[in-house]
Amino acid sequence: MAWGNFSRVTEFILLGLSDTRELQVLFFTIFFLAYILVLLGNLLIIVTVRTDPKLSSPMYFLLCNLSFIDICCTSVTAPRMLVDLLSQRKAIVFEGCIAQLFFLHFFGSSEMFLLTVMAYDRYTAICKPLHYTAIMSRWACWVLVCSCWAGGFLHSITQTLLTIQLPFCGPNTIDNYFCDVQPVIRLACAEIYVTEWLMASNSGLISLGCFLVLVTSYMLILVSIRGRLTQGHWKALSTCASHVVVVTLFFVPCIFIYLRPFFTFPFDKYVCVIYTILSPVMNPLIYTLRNNEVKESMWRL
């Protein structure tokens, strides 16, 4: 059937996390405080790294970029969710839904690639310390970060194009608090078997591939320093441990959500809270509370 024969959907209704008023007020309070913490914590990291010459190593350059991405990624979903928690009718126009979908995957996939680069940075610093400054030069860091943004854009534009080419003519209710690929394409008035496989192979395999690279890098680090732990190695391992926490919070829910086409569960939207809200909240806490250099710089600032 041709596109023109459909009555095009102009808006979607987001069901949110709960329809109980008391829970909505509770969720609003919790997520409002979490969003403020994301903004202030990550902005403090960015300002601290940018103003302190002592924090000029590649690790802090990458951390600064991670904080910026966290702010952007959380700002795609959190403000809309907070408004909807206080609204009776949670509607979002079709164009706004597609824009939210695009930017969520743009910043989310860019963060995946950046976390992988940060693991490579730690591997190089611990396993190849004599060549570290040559491998992770300022130019190399910029190339790696720009590659992360470019990879995120290519992933996101692919997801978006696969979505907007579908016809939407009937149901418009999304059982989530934001527009994501899976719940949106299931509202299409067309067969989406191939589309779901393409999207799972895109988002799911990217999440799984980056996660496996990260796990491999940590295993190589442990094998490399086995039996010869020095004070510097312990400090590096402490940094890696905090990185592992961030990786687990971010990647495991993403793999669970995006690597299984054709299936949805009622609790999926609560799993999404982990990588859209909780992980960005944890990043500034983990990287500041476990890093004496950053804490000292913050006190001086």
Give 256 or 242, the one with higher predicted confidence: 256
Give 191-222 pLDDT, tens digit per residue: 888 888 888 888 888 999 999 988 888 888 87
How much is the mean pLDDT over the chain?
A: 84
Question: Residue 195: what pLDDT?
Answer: 82
Give 101-123 pLDDT, tens digit per residue: 999 999 999 999 999 998 888 88
Report the distance separating Cα 90 and Cα 98, nearest Å.
Answer: 16
Mean pLDDT over residues 229-255, rounded? 72
Question: Residue 38: what pLDDT?
Answer: 92
**Does residue 226 surpass a pLDDT of 80?**
no
Strand intervals (E) in the chain: 11-14, 91-93, 173-174
Domain 11-300 has CATH 1.20.1070.10: yes
Q: CA-CA-CA-CA torsion for 77, 79, 83, 85, nearest 10 degrees?
A: 60
Give 273-287 pLDDT, tens digit per residue: 988 888 888 877 777
pTM value?
0.89
DSSP string computed for 109-170: HHHHHHHHHHHHHHHHHHH-GGGHHHHT-HHHHHHHHHHHHHHHHHHHHHHHHHHHTS---S
The 10 Å Cβ neighbour count of residue 141 is 18
Q: Sign of the CA dihedral 61, 63, 65, 67? A: negative
Domain ranges of the chain: 11-300
**Does residue 3 surpass a pLDDT of 50?**
no
- Of the listed ranges 94-103, 114-123, 230-239, the least confidently predicted one is 230-239
How far the first Cα of the chain sits from its last, in Å, is: 63
Name the token pair of 228: 């010869």
**Does residue 229 surpass a pLDDT of 60?**
no
Give 150 or 226, the one with higher predicted confidence: 150
